[in-house]
Amino acid sequence: MSIRTRVPALMAAAGVSFFGWGGPAVTPVDGKEYDFVIVGSGSAGSVLASRLSEDPNVSVLLLEAGKDNNHFDVHHMSRVAQLQNTAFDWAFRSQPEKSTNGRVHYLPRGKALGGSSSINGAVYVRCPPEDYNEWAQKWGCKGWDYKTLLPYFMKSERLQDESGNPVKLPAHGNDGPLAVTYFTLEQAEKQLSPWIGHIYRSFVNAGIDKATDDYHSGDFRGVAVTQHNVDRGIRADSFTTWIKKTGAIDRKNLTVVPCSQATKIVIDGKTATGVQLRQGETSDELRKAKDQVVKAKKEVILSAGAYGSPWLLLLSGIGPASQLQSVGIRPIVDLPAVGKNLKDHLYVSVPFATNQQIFSVYRPGLDMIQASFDGLVRGRGFTAYLPYQVIVHTDSGVDPKKLKPDLQIYGMPLFIAGPANSFADVKKASNVNPIDPTGKYPYAYTMMPTLLNPKSAGSVTLKSSDPIEYPIVEHRFLEHPDDVEVLIRGMQLCRKAAATEPLKGLTTEEILDQDLLKTAGASDSREYMEKFVRSKAVTVYHPTSTCRMGPDSDRNSVVDLSLKVKGVKNLRVVDASVFPDIVMGNTNAPVYAVAERAADIIKEEHGLAK
């Protein structure tokens, strides 16, 4: 991508059209009728809208509560933290979480075209094959095993290098719409940061896990360079990828309407016939807006996410009957599992100081200026991606019965635990005090052990029948002791890597929480590490499983194996909420594959052209 073609992206900061496209208008839809009405334009909704509208004989309406994502901060990864707590973010909050010292956790979700794929870290992880084989075998979801889903991962994917040239690797696609940027270790060291090599080799040399060139082509376990949904410096979100770049936005049979929040599924008897909605950008505007009803001749499809989809089902009278009655909603279908089984990944930041030159937000010198120029103007280099550049998938050893890696560790050539960096506000929102409040350590790198297999589970419930009032989200983070133990062992592995060459010779000290040391003793004590985990752990923003898929015999599920809501005709859910259980890695890529497969299921059922 040349500087000339990147100028429109820079101009977007001033509100000028990106890619020369002004975005869809907010148009009334009251009384209109479409074959398919899709609620939510995120990682699943945009895929479905694109694939279903491939048949010119069907009409598709894609509704999005948020606005257009055509914005400088959306498209450039170095600006991702500036999207938090803005109009692009639902900014949910958890209930005070007892096992994390009563903290209220900040829970961002994308509220824009592209949904959470417009505000996430753009890390591409399919997760281990064992996840999907468990879906089929343990959870009874036949047809959702890895062998079945692999072609859908490959169908969506366009594996490339930083310049956009195709990269040929086993089990990857090159003809799909979704850009996946791949680096070899040598390329990452040269083009991004030499510290990637230091961190990578220390994990391998410490025996934490083996080196792997690609965590998708073979064994998922190992130490690797992260793959990103970034296309030559520009975020590859779902809406830009599947709706704009494919040309679907120009199809006469596809209508996209932003700033349209669904408030209820219209149900006649036990058949979904449409969606009630209000149009507006703010809560005040939505409260003043009139209700509109759009009709669906074939199906209503919810792709509103792990918080939004159960929220809308509950508002529509689908869920635990007693809970619905308690807020004055007449139950239509008693489905006890709606909003239950909520799971998410948690991480802690473990930073280490160095006296060597490293990218630093504390020292905005020529290196940072050059890196910013390269990222924003040339679409290359360190700032074109989030700093999660080394990725480790390994076993903590906490549950010997587990056959899958339960621990993910990011290695980042950047300090993200102090007050001067752009992540500080995110941490503040989850009531996490910075480890280095004085900025004493100008140069540091960070490791982030992440809990992949949480045994603690929470819920999404209604606070009231008011469709504009946010639901109650209770994650119950770290209530199971194994969850705490996995993160503690993750911290220990990070320390082991930092004490191994080449990092050993580059590291001066671990940056510890001095206030915690005063009350918890030595940093290697069990008391310090457990208190650190409970006081510092925050979500990685991967909620799943609140509308679980399961066979007809499974009362603890919400949708069947075709993702149809049980007990209601013409109503489907397609997003991360249908995962039978949380996957052992980032959730965006799995949602793409689920949506691609769901599109084929829907096409086959309705006799649509493929």
Positions annotated as catalytic residues are 542
What six digits make up the tokens of 282? 């703010």
- For 132, 139, 151, 599, the CA distances from 145, given in Å and listed in that order, are 5, 11, 11, 17
- Measure the CA dihedral 95/97/101/103, to 10°: -40
Angle at 598 between CA 596 and CA 603, to 5 degrees: 100
- Eight-class DSSP state of 590: H
d(CA 478, CA 485): 9
Chain position carrying tokens 């809990």: 451
The Cβ of residue 290 has, within 10 Å, a number of other Cβ atoms equal to 8
Report yes or no: 159 and 174 within 8 Å, Cβ to Cβ.
Answer: yes
- For 28, 70, 240, 321, 589, the CA distances from 255, given in Å and listed in that order, are 11, 17, 15, 35, 25
d(CA 409, CA 347): 9
Say if residue 268 is exposed, middle or buried (CB neighbours under 10 Å; 0-12, 13-18, 19+): exposed
Alpha carbon 272 to its chain's center = 29
Q: Is there a binding annotation on residue 586?
A: no
Three-state SS sequence of 37-76: EEECCCCCHHHHHHHHCCCCCCCEEEECCCECCCCHHHHC
Percentages helix, strand, coil for the chain (3-state, rounded to 5) are: 30, 20, 45
Determine the residue type at 94: S
- Measure the CA dihedral 182/187/189/190, to 10°: -130
User: What is the full DSSP assignment across 330-350?
Assistant: --SEE-TTTT-SBB--EE--E
H-helix or E-strand spanning residue 472: strand 472-474
The Cβ of residue 510 has, within 10 Å, a number of other Cβ atoms equal to 19
What six digits make up the tokens of 181? 């940027």
Angle at 76 between CA 585 and CA 416, to 5 degrees: 60
Q: Is there a binding annotation on residue 397?
A: no
Q: Is there a binding annotation on residue 538?
A: no
Q: Is there a binding annotation on residue 123?
A: yes
Residues making up the binding site for FAD = 120-123
Residues making up the binding site = 120-123
